[in-house]
């Protein structure tokens, strides 16, 4: 089970930190990802962190503004979002991948994730 939280309403330029607690998904080999889905659009890759190297990957549109991290002791993955823009407004989903590595070509692929959280809504006002 993946429990995502931390969404809310923020003004453009503001920050939010999303959390995703993995219950029952222990093991350092898993990679973790954040995806988002805006109304009327498909679910798109935002960021991921590989299980083996702990290497982060980002979509170009969030690079330099978002940071993904993982606290293994808490079994929690975070997405720090800074300088939010109205186009960042979406439901954000965390997900687990059994692929421990593979680079961004693998970890940005939704089909490579087998467990998904329920989503948390991020609203950015102008």
Q: What is the pLDDT of residues 38-95, one digit of tens each?
A: 999 999 999 999 998 899 999 999 999 999 999 988 989 999 999 999 999 999 999 9
What is the rounded CA–CA span in Å between residue 33 and residue 39?
Answer: 20
Within 8 A by CB and 6+ apart from 60, the residues are none
- Reported confidence tier of residue 27, pLDDT bands at 50, 70, 90: low
pLDDT, greater one: 102 or 121: 121
Q: So what's the pLDDT on residue 29?
A: 83
Residues in the chain: 126
What is the rounded CA–CA span in Å between residue 108 and residue 24?
Answer: 23
């Amino acid at each position: 089970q993946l429990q995502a939280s931390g969404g809310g309403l923020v003004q453009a330029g503001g920050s939010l930190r999303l959390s995703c607690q993995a219950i029952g998904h222990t093991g350092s080999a898993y990679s973790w990802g954040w995806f988002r889905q805006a109304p009327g659009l498909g679910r798109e890759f935002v960021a991921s962190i590989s299980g083996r190297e702990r290497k982060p990957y980002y979509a170009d549109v969030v690079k330099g503004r978002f940071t993904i991290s993982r606290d293994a002791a808490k079994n929690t993955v975070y997405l720090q979002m800074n300088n939010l823009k109205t186009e960042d407004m979406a439901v954000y989903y965390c997900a687990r991948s059994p692929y421990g590595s593979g680079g961004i070509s693998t970890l940005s692929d939704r089909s490579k994730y087998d467990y998904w959280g329920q989503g948390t809504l991020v609203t950015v006002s102008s």
